[in-house]
Structure 1
Amino acid sequence: MSRQQPSRGLPVALAVAAVALGTLTATTAAPAGPLHHAPPRLPPNAQAAHAKTQAVLNEIVAQGTPGVIARIQDARGVWDGRAGIGDLVTERPRSTSEKFRIASVTKTFTATVLLGLEAEGRISLDDSVEEWLPVSTVGDVNTFLSKLLAGELLPPAQQRQLLDAVHVDGDKGHGGPQDRYGLGIRHFELREDCWAWGHGGMIPGSATRTLASADGRRVMTMNRNGDWGEQRLEDAAVETEFCEP
């Protein structure tokens, strides 16, 4: 089967697809192929079969996790388990109908997108990642983020969606209480009245942080070949570059 030659648009499309998948939830994912009717909910007399699982969920909360949910689904029916709360302010109980970020579970969705593109003849699974997303150095990441914020990679409507940021709580390693989150990109408050767009990422043995000014003219990418050490030192380097004249 002949395959189309790489275009400039596809790498961006793949990147945007991966970002979009980062916000998918298990409750909104559409199944592949024909739709199947959900199995019926288990009758009350069958609930006892999951009593041990419910006890584990209760123990997870007892050890300090605010809340936990689980759904077991098979030919016999659906069992929902829950314990704890889903909102620290209102103390709303957790619910299996609530939406949540599924983190690295998105890899399965991303693989589905790539297989779909292969079926269309647009890519091959034998292609190297560098052929479509040539990002391997701090310079590569800087170039990507600079062009993204300069408006060179997305149409205006999608650019507005990307940067339509909402408030989130700061997380360990990167971020603070005033940060705001767009689609796969974060608006960091580095100091009072000092902000930058970017993201951080960590895998065992490697930690990366990339930040840029709103116009993309100043950009900085750092990588530590270790996922330990004092975060304040990395923060100090970032603040020096973006917050000091």
Structure 2
Amino acid sequence: MTTSKVQRVLERAVDEGGVPGILAEFRDGEGRWFGSAGVGDTETGRERSPQDRFRIGSITKTFVATVVLQLAAEHELSLDDTVEKWLPGVVRGNGHDGCRVTVRQLLDNTSGIFSYTEDYAALQARDSYTPLQLVQIGLSHPAAFEPGTDWGYSSTNYILAGLLVERVTGRAVADEIAERIVHPLRLAGTYLPCADDQAIRGPHSRHYTKLYLPDPDAEIYDTTELDPTPYWAAGGMISTAEDLNHFFGALLQGRLLPEIQQKAMFATVPTKGWIPGTAYGLGVCSLTLPCGTTVWGMGGAVLGSWSYTYGTRDGRRMLTINTNADWAQGGWDDPIGIFTDVLEAEFGPGDSPEDVA
């Protein structure tokens, strides 16, 4: 189990990258290792801990995709169903047509639907949002391409997937995630908060943001308490490093989905204009590191919290990283650069005898 290389990158992330605090947890067949650097609270100086809960952003999408695939396995829906079948009249206008978009295209981001998260003005216009309002923001923009002809990362796809889960089951998507994934795996620190739950329950570090301003001296804001409604099924969940490693380990090992749905989830398409070296499946992605090693998992970002969970394709070696800030400096453009270096420290050549792809 490699730990010293990872620890050195964590310390550089604070000393050179300027992040307040960072943590990483690694697990394999031999056990768990936890490392951290910096602080979880800049006022008290409290260190980050293995129990820290944090907002996981788009890693939420993996949970939602897993629920949809479980419903497909139960013959409650088909990945080839149109969005119009389950959400009639919702996807219309500006070149969008729910009759031509399938459930699979929502999950692998080949729908052509604009991501509502790219409309910053619309997201600043209200205090809170319903899922349908988020969809409407996305649909107010023209379709980027014909469904199935290209790839474009869009959080609107997963708001629609969340609505679809609720339509099919008649229950809140948060309850479906809890019953199907959280409770069976005993993920004690994982949940999708309800609309009026702005605090993080349980132990957690503070979350800090510079609002993505590039100036090293930009003002820092504390966004630990945050309205979750602009994120919901596309990025609203809260979890821990231990829980994420356990979830992705189970997912990669095929313990959450039957074989047919497992193959569908991990059948990838090339990405475009996204994270270099990635290919996207259904709520998961492969990431080929600069050293040539390929790992599998997902990343997520929300104001004040960036996270990565990646590991070997067999799920036996998993690594989760979180920084309680959304900026980096000292040669890193953003926390993704830090995370890439952490992954290379653990999964790079010399640390594993076999190809992990």
TM-score (norm 1): 0.55
Distance 1:133 1:95, change over 3 A: closer
The alpha carbon displacement at 1:81 in A equals 9.2
Equivalent runs, 1:49-60 vs 2, <5 Å: none
Larger Rg: 1
The Cα of 1:113 is off from its aligned counterpart by 2.3
Is 1:236 the counterpart of 2:341 in the alignment?
Answer: yes
- CA distance in structure 1 between the aligned counterparts of 2:180 and 2:241, rounded to whole angstroms: 17
Corresponding residue SS for 1:104:
helix
Q: Which residue matches 1:15?
A: 66
Name the CA distance, whole Å, in 2 between partners of 1:126 and 1:152. 21
Q: 1:154 to 1:13 in 2, by over 3 A?
A: farther
Partner of 2:155: 103
Distance 1:145 1:238 in 2: 15
Pair 1:95–1:181, CA change in 2 (3 A): closer
| Runs of 4 or more consecutive aligned structure 1 residues displaced over 3 Å after TM superposition | 12-16, 31-36, 80-83, 94-102, 123-133
Q: Which residue of 1 aligns with 2:259?
A: 156
Report deviation, 1:208. 1.0
The alpha carbon displacement at 1:233 in A equals: 2.5
One-letter amino acid of the counterpart of residue 204, structure 1: L
1:213 aligns with 2:330: no
Q: Secondary structure at the match of 1:202?
A: strand
Does the aligned pair in 2 maintain the 1:18–1:110 contact within 8 Å? no
CA shift digits 1:162-208 (9 cap, x unpaired)? 1111222352xxx31x4211111111011243110011111111111
Structure 1: 5+ residue stretches without partners = 1-11, 40-79, 87-93
Query: With CA pairs under 8 Å and 6+ residues apart, which has the higher RCO, 1 or 2?
Result: 2
Task: Percent identity, please.
Answer: 28
Distance, in Å, in 1 between the alignment partners of 2:278 and 2:338 is: 20
Deviation at 1:34, TM superposition (A): 7.2
Displacement of 1:16 in angstroms is 3.3
Give 5+ residue unaligned stretches, structure 2. Answer: 1-62, 72-78, 94-139, 183-189, 191-238, 352-357
Contact conserved, 2:291 with 2:348, CA < 8 A, in 1?
no
Deviation at 1:105, TM superposition (A): 5.6
Q: Is the 8 A contact 1:19 1:183 kept in 2?
A: no
